[in-house]
Amino acid sequence: CGIRNMALGKLLLVIFVVILANSAECKPNIVLIFADDLGFGDLSCYGHPTSTTPIIDKLASEGLVFTQFYTASPVCSPSRAALLTGRYQTRSGIYPDVFFADSVGGLPLNETTIAELLKEDGYSTAIVGKWHLGVGEGGMYLPTHQGFDSYFGIPYSHDMCPCYTCFYPNISCYDTCQVTDVGCPIFENEKIVKQPADFLTLADNYTSAARSFILTEAAKENPFFLYYASQHTHYPQFAGQQFTGSSIRGKFGDALNELDWSVGQILKALEDSKAIDNTFVFFTSDNGPSLIQQGRGGSPGLLRCGKGTTWEGGQRVPAIARWPGKIAPGKTAELGATVDILPTLATLLGIKLPPVALDGFDMAPILFENKTSNRNYYIYY
């Protein structure tokens, strides 16, 4: 009898291990692409007549396009805090302004980010690009202290540094930006690996880092979360050799083309690693276009105003969700928001929500069931 029970126990253990292994294999990868100052009307799939964004257009044709999707704030730092925590920025204190190069604060370490939730669930986590939620003494507010295993990027907006050359080979930026500050640093985890950043190679470097993370983690068969926070298309626009002069829309169009290419390279890495069919990709923007830059600041389409305002043009942004076989292609006018992403991922993965007041709603009915939104209002800050 004892031998039989031991055999049964071993069998149950094997079954348990197999179930765990299978559940790990079934966990979807998450790729969150966050454009910078990209307006509701900037993409050709959202109606812009002179933009050429074939990769993002293809993403839209294969995914669900939102026509009423909102960011939590019309400026950078608050919108990023809300995105990562699922909470209005006023709750974390990242409000109303943004962090600067000499700011001493950052996203409070007691806030729970998407990266922290996913890391606890066995995900490898990385951010590539613009952080803009503080550096702090000794780098205490950098992403590696907020749930991310790795970080590569500039920790704030690139106009918060001196900017002289923005287009190949030596075409000047539209402004010199913050000439009294030091050059933009590129961090790798908590170490500065380049300063000043070279705008002509920045998108290449970001894209290479994103692809490397995807290919490495997919080869390990680890579920992964990539937060790709592009500096495009924030002022001053920039582009490398391949995209300088590539758009009839001018320099803004050149920068947008480089963003489109980088999105394509990320998707190609997913294809090359055979992870594409098990990856939930979500593309959106941190806020509306910077209309004070006029033609160099993007387009809200037919919406009123832009960045820095709580009119529709400031907070209503493009958004596309793609997951082959899980999300049916099409368009939805249902209400969604960046604060909804954290609770949506938690529900999708069966992760317990953090024990704090959340402002996001689960978007699963919109994404997977073609049903109405759980959200019937949105508060503007």
Q: pLDDT tens digits, residue range 321-354?
A: 999 999 999 999 999 999 999 999 999 999 999 9
Which pLDDT score is estimated for 294?
87
Instruction: Give burial (CB, 10 Å; 0-12/13-18/19+) of 111.
Output: buried
At 125 the three-state DSSP class reads strand
Which pLDDT score is estimated for 20?
41
Pairing outcome for strands 29-35 and 224-229? parallel
Question: Is residue 124 within 8 Å of 226, Cβ to Cβ?
Answer: no
Letter string b/e over residues 270-282, b meaning 16 or more CB atoms within 10 A of that residue's CB: beebebbebbbbb
Which residues fall within 8 angstroms of residue 127, CB to CB, at 6 or more apart?
115, 143, 148, 150, 151, 152, 153, 226, 227, 228, 229
Task: Kindly state the tokens that stand for 57.
Answer: 């257009």
Which pLDDT score is estimated for 296?
87
Letter string b/e over residues 53-88, b meaning 16 or more CB atoms within 10 A of that residue's CB: bebbbbbbeebbbbebbbbbbbbbbbbbbbbbbbbb
Task: Kindly state the tokens that stand for 99.
Answer: 């962090």
d(CA 81, CA 98): 10
* Residues of the chain where predicted confidence (pLDDT) is lower than 70: 1-25
pTM above 0.75, yes or no: yes
Tell me the Ramachandran region of residue 298: left when phi exceeds 0, alpha when psi lies from -120 to 50, beta otherwise.
left
Which residues are known to be catalytic?
Answer: 76, 132
Task: Kindly state the tokens that stand for 22.
Answer: 């299978």
Per-residue pLDDT reduced to its tens digit, 187-228: 999 999 999 999 999 999 999 999 999 999 999 999 999 999
Which pLDDT score is estimated for 381?
80
